[in-house]
Structure 1
Amino acid sequence: MKIKSNFPVILLLLFFTSFINGQNIAKNFVEPPREFSVMPFWFWNDTLKADEILRQIKDFDEHGVYGFVIHPRMGLPIGMDFLSEEMLSLMKVAIEEAERRSMKVILYDEGSYPSGSCEGRVVAKNPAHAARGLAKIDLETGEKPALKDGWNLVTVLQRPNGKQMAVVEQPSNGHIRGIHWVDEAKGKEDLPPAGDILNPEAVSSFIELVYDRFAENFKQYFGKTVLAVFTDEPDPLGRGSKRGIVPGNKNLLPQINKILGYDFTPYFSDLWYEDHENWEQHRKDYHRAIAICLEENYYGRLSKWCESHGIALTGHPAGSMDLGAQKYFQIPGQDLVWRYVEPGEKALNGQHSTMAKNASSAMVHLNRRRNSNELYGAYGHNLTYDEMVWLANWCFVRGQNLLYPHAFYYSIRGARYDERPPDVGPHAKWWSNYKDYADACRRLCWLNTDSRQVCEIAVLGDANWLPDQSAKIFFQNQKDFNYLELSHLISDATVDKSGVHIAGMNYKAVILDGLQIVPDNIKPTLNKLAENDQLIIFKDSPFISTFPKTKVAQTAAELIAETEKLIQPDLSLSPSSENIRYRHVTKEGIHYYILFNEQETSVTTKISVPVKGNQWWLDEFTAKATLAQKGQKITFQPHELKLLMVKEN
C-alpha cells in the first residue's frame, strides 16, 4: 500500500524532472554548481584543533554549504596570533579539506576588523604608520601652536572672522578589534592600533605582512580553491579615534589639491566651522577627495595585487552608499548588519536601503560576474528563520548573487556566544533544515549570475551618495533600475538619441534626484540627455535651470508618469500593490521574474508580462515547476518570494 500510494507522486516528480530537463535548466537550476553556495564567515574564535576543523567542514558540506570565509575572530587564545605559523598551518588544513570536497575558500585579511593593521603589526613594525588625522587648534592673536611629539603642523590660517587657527596632523589613536580577550570574564578586548591606510608606505607594509604571506603559503590554491581575499570596511582613522579629528595627513595635501583642482589650504577651517559662503561645498569636496585618496592608496593597491595573483578582491567599503570604491573590487560588495534593514520602513528608506542596488549596479556597469553581501551580523539572538530568509530575498530581488552569512561560530563557549550574534549556522535552531535554505540561495545566486537584467532606468549617484526616495518609488511600482555613478557618463558610457549605453545596458530614462553637486565636465552630457527628453529631475533641484529642457517630477505619480513616457512597462499588477518588488532577467534564452512580497500583508493580484509564451512557477526550495494559469490571480503570502519562468513561443 505504501508503494502504491507513493507511485503517483513518483510519476509527478519524474514529470517535473523531465520537464525541467526539456527546458535545459535541470543541471543548473535543480542542482546549480557549488560556486553559487552561500559562503559564511567562519569565526575561528577558540582553541583550534585540526580534527575539529575537519569535522565542521564535513558538517557544512552535509548541510549544503560548499564554501566559507576563514575569519580569525575574538576568542582565540593568547599566543595564537594572526597569521602565525600555527594559524597558517590550520588554514592549510581547512583549504586542503575544501579542495578535497570541491568546496571554495575566501581568506580574510585582518585579525579581526577593520582591515589595514595586520593585528597591529603594521604599527609595531613602524610606529609612524599608525592611523593619523587632522585636528584644529584655535589660537589667540600672535600665539604659536604647541606641537606634541609626533604632531606635524599643516598650516596656520586666519579665519574670515579674524581669528587664527592651526591645522595639525596627529595620531588618531584609532584601533581595530583584535582576536584576543584581555579579560574574557569582563569582556575586555585587545585593541591593536589601526594602520594609516591613507599612507602608501603603511599600505605597502600591510600588503607585505598579509597578502604576500597568503601567497607564500597558499599560492598553489589561488584561483581554484581559494577564490578571493576579503577586506573589511577599512577606516582611515580606525575605531574609537579622537573626537573632532578628520581623516588626512600633511603629505596628502598635494594629492587632495590635484583631485579638487584648487588649493584647499585656505578653506581648512570649513572642516570644523561654517566660515565661508561655500563651507558645505568645501567640506563635501574634502571628504570626496579623501575617499578618492583611499581608493587610490588602499583599494587600488589591493585590487592590483589580487588581479596579479589570479584571485579576486572581495569584501566591502565602510559606507552603504560607497559606490565609487566598488570599481576596485573584482567582487563588489556590501554589509547588511546591525539591523540596518528590516521588514517595514527600513527596507526602502535611508542610506542602508541603497546598499544592495549599490553592489549589484557596480557589478553590471563594471562587467563583474558576482556581487556580494555580508549579512546577519549583530542582528541579535532574536533573529528568526523568517527574517533570515527575508533578508536573503531582499538581496536577491535587488540583483545580488553571493551571500556571506555572518556567521558560523567555531565555538559558542562563554562570551563567544554573545560576540556580534547570532550564529546562523551549526549552533542555530534551524540547522537541521539549513540545506533547504542553502539550496534556495544557491539557485537564486545562479539565476542572478551570467544572466541579462531587463532594465531601462538609471538613477544617478556619486561616489559616496545615492538617492533613496526615487528608488523607493520605483521599487513600489515594479520599475527596475540601477544606480549609475556620474563618472561613468564621461568615462565608459555613450549617450545618443536612445539613451545611455554602458556594459550592454541601454537606459532610456535617467533620473537626477537629490544630487547637490554635478561636476562641470559632466553637465554637457546631462544637458544632452535633457535635450533628448531622457533626463527626469525628481523634486526640487539646483539644476533645473542648468538643464532647461529637462522634465521635472514633483510627486511619485509624476515620476512614474514621466518614466512611462520613455519606457514600456515590463510587468503590471492588477490590482496594483506597493508590496511587491521585482527583477526580470533572461538566461539561456528563458525569462525569469523574481517577485517578492517585501511587506507584512498578503497580496492577491493578477500578473501580466509582455513576453509571450508558456509560464511556470518555480520553487526555489524544491526546484519543482508548476504550470502557471494565465490571467489567474495569485496570492503572495507575507514575505513570500515567487519565481515566474516564461519560455517564449
Structure 2
Amino acid sequence: MPPPTPDGPVGPYAFVFWNDDLDDAAVLGQLREIAGAGFVGVTLSARVGLGRRVGYLTAEFLRLVRVAVDECARLGLAVMLYDEASYPSGSANGGVVARDPAFAARCLVPVTRDVAVTDSGPDGGDEAAYWRPALGRDLDARLLGVVARPAGDDTGSRVAVLLPVHAPGLVRLALPTGAWRVTAVFDATSGGTIRGAHAEQDDGSALAPPAADLLNPDAIATFLELTHDAYAAALGEHLGTTVVAMFTDEPFLLGRGHRPLARPYTPGLEAEVAARLDVPEPEVLRRLPELWDSGDGTRPGGTDPDATGFVRAYDDAVRARLHRVYYDAQAAWCAAHGIALTGHPAEPDDLATAGRLHWPGQDTVWRWVLPGDTVGTSGLDGPESTAPKVAASAARRRGAPAVTEVLGAYGWRLSLDEARWLLDWYLSRGVTTPVLHAFFASVRGGRAFESEPDLGRWNSWWPHLAPLVGYVRRVAELLDATPPVWPVGVLSRPDAAPSGPVVRALLEAQVDFGYVDRDDAAAAAGTDLVLVDPDDGVPDVAALKDDLRSRALPVVDAEPAAPGLRAVVLAGGAGYVVFHEGEERVRTALQLPAVPDDACWWDPFADTRHPVERDADGRVLLDLERRRTLALVRAAGRPVVPAAPALGRRLEVAGWRGTVDRVVGDADAIADDPSAVAPPELRLGDWSREPALRRLAGSVRYAAEVDVPDGAGATRLDLGVVGEAATVRVDGVVVGHALTAPYVLDLPAGTLRPGRRTLEVLVSNSAANYYEGDRRPSGLIGPVALSW
C-alpha cells in the first residue's frame, strides 16, 4: 500500500486567481468573502494578468502569500498552494530554463525522405549518394539515428535498417534497390511553452515561458528549489498546519504549442525502453520511426493509450519516468514538509498517474461534461466522463480524499443549475474535495474572459453561492465520515479508464463501483470486490446483483427503474445517499438491504429531515425532483418534519414590487438605448425586456404583503419561473433558497404565522446578460403562489 498521506479538511475549496496588481486590502477582502461563503479552504494561485509590480516568486509576491496564509489561519481556512504561474506545472514561469537552457522540454522529431534506389543508385544518381538530414536551423538538435524502411510496407519494422552517420552528419544511402522511406530522428527542444503569470506571457506570445523537461531530475530539482523551497522559506510554520497541500496542474511533457509530430524524450530514455523490451539500445533506435506510424497520436500528456507493441513500450517508459522524476520528487518534498501533493494529471482517464498524488485528483473544465446525455458531453461516455471515478478510485487505494478542479472555463453562461449538477456528478462518484474554479481578483480588461466565469463578487449570482457551498460541504463530510461501499471493481488500463456501455449499465442500475488497475488487480484479490472486465462486454446486471447478494454485498433496486438515480451505500450501515442526475422527477420504490434504526430522509441542501415512508412490501418510497439529493440516515434525535404540506388551498401572491439591489459591471452600459429610463419599481416578469435594463446582470429585491389565514400550518411556496436564483425571506428572516428549477420551497409550520406577512425574494440572473450580451430570462417571473 502507498504510505499514509497528510490530513486536511474535505469539502469545497475556492480556487483563487491573483490576476492583476494586488495589495494587502484586495487579498484580505477576497479571503474574507470566501470564508463568509462557507468554504473550507482556498487554492492560492498566480494567474495570467498578475501585475509586474508584484511579479511571480518575487519578494513582494511571497510577502502577499504570507499575508494571505496568515489571514487564512485566522479565518480557519485551509490552504493549498499552487506550484506554477498559470499552467501547465513544472517550469516556475520559465525560471527552470532560465537557470539552464539544457532544462528545456525535449522531444523526438522525425525528418523523412523517400528514396527510390535503382541499379544506378538512389534517385537514379550516384550509388554512393549521401544525405545530410537537418532540423531546419536548429543548432542544438542532436541526430539520434537514421532508419531506412521499405516504403509502403507495414512489415518494415522487421527489415528496417539503422544507417551509420558520418561526420558532419552525413548518411550514405547505400540501400538495396527499391522504394525506401528514410527517417532521421532528432533529439531537440520541443518548443513548448506554458501560460505565464503576466499578461504578455500567454499562449502565442514571444514572451511565453518555455516549458521545462519534466523527465530530467536536475530540471525538477531546480523547479522544487525555485518554487517549493521559496514557499517553505516564506511560510515556515504554516506548512503542515494552515497549508495542507501543494496543487500541481496537468503537467504537459511537451508544453503547449510544441513542434508538430513531437514525441516526449529526454537523453537516456532509450536505455529505459531497451530495458523494458529486453533488447540492446541500437534495436530501440532502429524502431523509433514506429512512433509516427499512426499519425499524430499523442494527447497533451504526451502518450497514446491506444498504442501497442513498441510504441506502447516507449510510452510506458515515458510514463514511468514521469512518475519517478516529476511526481515522486514532488511527493517526497511535500511529505517531508507535512503537506499533501494534490492536483491532477494531464489526462482525465489516467488512473495510474492520479495515484501518484497523495490526494488524487482530476479536472472538468471547458464545458467538457454537461447535464443531459448529449454525445460528446455525456457524464457516462468518453474519457472525460471517467474523471470523478478515476480520482475517487485512486484516492480509495491510498486511503485519501479525492480532489477535483471543477466549473472552470464553463463561461459566463454557467448557471447554478449546471453547477449543482456537476458538483453532484462528482460527489455521487466519491469525490469529496472539489476546488471551485475560480475566484478572480480582477475582471479588468480581458481578465473577465480568461477561463471565465468568476464565481465570486464579479458574478451576478454570488449572493446565492453560499447555500450551494454549504450543501457541498455537508455531503462531502458525510461521504468522508462514512465512505461509499463499492461492491464492484471495473478493470481498467492504467492510463485509460473505461467508460461507455459497461459503466452506464452499472450506474443506471444503482450499482456503484471503483476502477481497478489491470496491472495491480492482485490488490483487489483480498477484498470483497466483484471484478467486471469491460473486455467481456456489458454485464448482465440482474445476474451481477444476484451474485452480489450471494456474497452478502449491498444491492439497491429501484422499481420502477430510475436510470437517472445514483445510489451510494454508506459504510457501516450508516445509510444511503441518492442523487438525481436526470431531468425528470423520479417516483420509485427502493429495495434496500437494510434501513438504519430511527431512519429519516435528510435533505443536505435545506438541512432538514423528513419521515421515511414504505410501501406494503417494505420498500422505501422515493419522490425526488431534478437537481435534488436525499440521504437516508438516522435522525439521532434531530427534529423530523413532514416532507411536504398537505395541499388543499392555494393563494396566489400579488402586488410584487422590485428594486435593483446589486449591479455587476458598468451600470451605465446596460441599456440598449441610452435614453431609456428604468421603471421606478419592477413587477413580476422578465426585467431583461425592459429597454433600460437589457444587459443588467445583478440582483433585484422583490417584496409583497400576504395575509396568512389561521390554520395555514406547513406551507408550500411556489415561485413559478425564476431567472435564475432566489433567496426567500419572511419578515426579514431567510427561510430558504431556490437555485434550480423547480423553484419551490416547503416551509414548516410556524414559518408563515397567521396575519399579515412580508415576503421578500432576492433574485439574481445570469451574468451572461452583461458579459456576453445574452438576453436570458431575468427576475421573479412567477406566478407566485402559497399552498397548504
Say whether the 8 Å CA contact 1:36–1:443 is kept in structure 2: no
For 2:93, what is the secondary structure of its paired residue? coil
- Out of 145, 167, 183, the residue aligned to residue 133 of structure 2 is 145
- Out of 531, 548, 554, the residue aligned to residue 567 of structure 1 is 548
Q: Distance in 2 between matches of 1:109 and 1:351?
A: 26
Alignment of 1:119-268 (within 5 A): 119-139=93-113, 140=115, 142-146=130-134, 148-161=138-151, 162-182=180-200, 190-262=207-279, 264-268=284-288
Determine whether 1:506 maps to 2:537.
no
Alignment of 1:266-277 (within 5 A): 266-273=286-293
Shift of 1:199: 1.2
Structure 1, residues 414-455: CA drift from partner, whole Å, max 9, x if none?
111111100112222222122211111111111121424322
Q: Distance in 2 between matches of 1:128 and 1:103?
A: 40
Shift of 1:250: 3.3
Determine whether 1:391 maps to 2:422.
yes
Give 2:49's aligned amino acid.
G
Structure 1, residues 209-260: CA drift from partner, whole Å, max 9, x if none?
1111111111311111000111000001000001111111332111233344
Structure 1, residues 559-594: CA drift from partner, whole Å, max 9, x if none?
3144234212611111012111121112xx552322
Question: What is the aligned partner in structure 2 of residue 328 from structure 1?
Answer: 356
Shift of 1:269: 1.4
Give 1:506's aligned amino acid.
D
Question: What is the aligned partner in structure 1 of residue 654 from structure 2?
Answer: none
Q: Distance in 1 between matches of 2:350 and 2:574?
A: 31
Say whether the 8 Å CA contact 2:196–2:209 is kept in structure 1: yes
Say whether the 8 Å CA contact 1:178–1:189 is kept in structure 2: no
Q: Distance in 2 between matches of 1:163 and 1:238?
A: 29
Determine whether 1:95 maps to 2:76.
no
Bigger helix share = 1
Structure 1, residues 151-195: CA drift from partner, whole Å, max 9, x if none?
1122222224443211111111100001212399x9969511111
Runs of 4 or more off by more than 6 Å in structure 1? 186-189
Structure 1, residues 14-70: CA drift from partner, whole Å, max 9, x if none?
xxxxxxxxxxxxxxxxxxx99334111100011101022112212112211231111
The range that moved more, 80-89 or 614-623, is: 614-623
Say whether the 8 Å CA contact 1:60–1:66 is kept in structure 2: no
TM-score of the superposed pair, with normalisation by structure 2: 0.68
Determine whether 1:597 maps to 2:580.
yes
Q: Distance in 2 between matches of 1:427 and 1:356?
A: 28
- Out of 460, 463, 474, the residue aligned to residue 506 of structure 2 is 474
Alignment of 1:20-99 (within 5 A): 35-99=9-73
**Aligned CA distance change for structure 1 residues 280 and 81 (closer, same or farther; 3 Å):** same
**Aligned CA distance change for structure 1 residues 613 and 446 (closer, same or farther; 3 Å):** closer
**Aligned CA distance change for structure 1 residues 183 and 317 (closer, same or farther; 3 Å):** closer
Q: Distance in 1 between matches of 2:201 and 2:287?
A: 46
Q: Distance in 2 between matches of 1:115 and 1:77?
A: 20
Say whether the 8 Å CA contact 2:474–2:604 is kept in structure 1: yes
Determine whether 1:457 maps to 2:457.
no
Greater C-alpha radius of gyration: 2
**Aligned CA distance change for structure 1 residues 290 and 66 (closer, same or farther; 3 Å):** same
Shift of 1:333: 0.2
Q: Distance in 2 between matches of 1:231 and 1:81?
A: 20
Shift of 1:349: 0.7
Q: Distance in 1 between matches of 2:353 and 2:613?
A: 45
Give 1:567's aligned amino acid.
L
The range that moved more, 625-634 or 593-602, is: 625-634
Question: What is the aligned partner in structure 1 of residue 326 from structure 2?
Answer: 298
Q: Distance in 1 between matches of 2:294 and 2:333?
A: 41
Say whether the 8 Å CA contact 2:359–2:402 is kept in structure 1: yes
**Aligned CA distance change for structure 1 residues 187 and 455 (closer, same or farther; 3 Å):** closer
| Greater RCO, 1 or 2 (C-alpha within 8 Å, sep 6+) | 1
Say whether the 8 Å CA contact 1:347–1:353 is kept in structure 2: yes
Determine whether 1:409 maps to 2:440.
yes
Question: What is the aligned partner in structure 2 of residue 318 from structure 1?
Answer: 346
Shift of 1:279: 7.8
Say whether the 8 Å CA contact 2:575–2:595 is kept in structure 1: no
Shift of 1:272: 0.9
Q: Distance in 2 between matches of 1:122 and 1:646?
A: 55
Question: What is the aligned partner in structure 2 of residue 357 from structure 1?
Answer: 389
**Aligned CA distance change for structure 1 residues 646 and 574 (closer, same or farther; 3 Å):** farther
Q: Distance in 2 between matches of 1:571 and 1:307?
A: 40
Say whether the 8 Å CA contact 1:152–1:250 is kept in structure 2: no
For 1:133, what is the secondary structure of its paired residue? strand
Q: Distance in 1 between matches of 2:424 and 2:90?
A: 32
Shift of 1:596: 1.4
Q: Distance in 1 between matches of 2:614 and 2:258?
A: 60
Give 2:448's aligned amino acid.
Y
Shift of 1:313: 0.4
Question: How many residues of Structure 1 are paired with residues of Structure 2 in the alignment?
Answer: 559
**Aligned CA distance change for structure 1 residues 451 and 260 (closer, same or farther; 3 Å):** farther
Question: What is the aligned partner in structure 2 of residue 581 from structure 1?
Answer: 566
TM-score of the superposed pair, with normalisation by structure 1: 0.82
Determine whether 1:620 maps to 2:604.
yes
**Aligned CA distance change for structure 1 residues 452 and 53 (closer, same or farther; 3 Å):** closer
Shift of 1:261: 4.1
Question: What is the aligned partner in structure 1 of residue 614 from structure 2?
Answer: 630
Q: Distance in 1 between matches of 2:307 and 2:506?
A: 34
Identical positions, percent: 32
Say whether the 8 Å CA contact 1:425–1:431 is kept in structure 2: yes
Say whether the 8 Å CA contact 2:488–2:513 is kept in structure 1: yes
Q: Distance in 2 between matches of 1:424 and 1:62?
A: 14
Q: Distance in 1 between matches of 2:198 and 2:110?
A: 35
For 2:578, what is the secondary structure of its paired residue? strand
Say whether the 8 Å CA contact 1:42–1:407 is kept in structure 2: yes
For 1:166, what is the secondary structure of its paired residue? strand
Say whether the 8 Å CA contact 1:38–1:404 is kept in structure 2: yes
Q: Distance in 2 between matches of 1:136 and 1:87?
A: 42
- Out of 415, 418, 431, the residue aligned to residue 462 of structure 2 is 431
**Aligned CA distance change for structure 1 residues 448 and 259 (closer, same or farther; 3 Å):** farther
Point out where structure 2 has 5 or more consecutive residues left out of the alignment: 1-6, 116-121, 123-129, 152-179, 296-305, 637-788
Q: Distance in 2 between matches of 1:443 and 1:422?
A: 25
**Aligned CA distance change for structure 1 residues 344 and 62 (closer, same or farther; 3 Å):** same
Say whether the 8 Å CA contact 2:342–2:361 is kept in structure 1: yes
Q: Distance in 1 between matches of 2:540 and 2:332?
A: 41
Structure 1, residues 275-305: CA drift from partner, whole Å, max 9, x if none?
9xx9843223322321221111101110111
Say whether the 8 Å CA contact 1:232–1:316 is kept in structure 2: yes
**Aligned CA distance change for structure 1 residues 219 and 259 (closer, same or farther; 3 Å):** farther
Question: What is the aligned partner in structure 1 of residue 677 from structure 2?
Answer: none
Give 2:149's aligned amino acid.
R
**Aligned CA distance change for structure 1 residues 158 and 377 (closer, same or farther; 3 Å):** same
Q: Distance in 1 between matches of 2:466 and 2:229?
A: 36
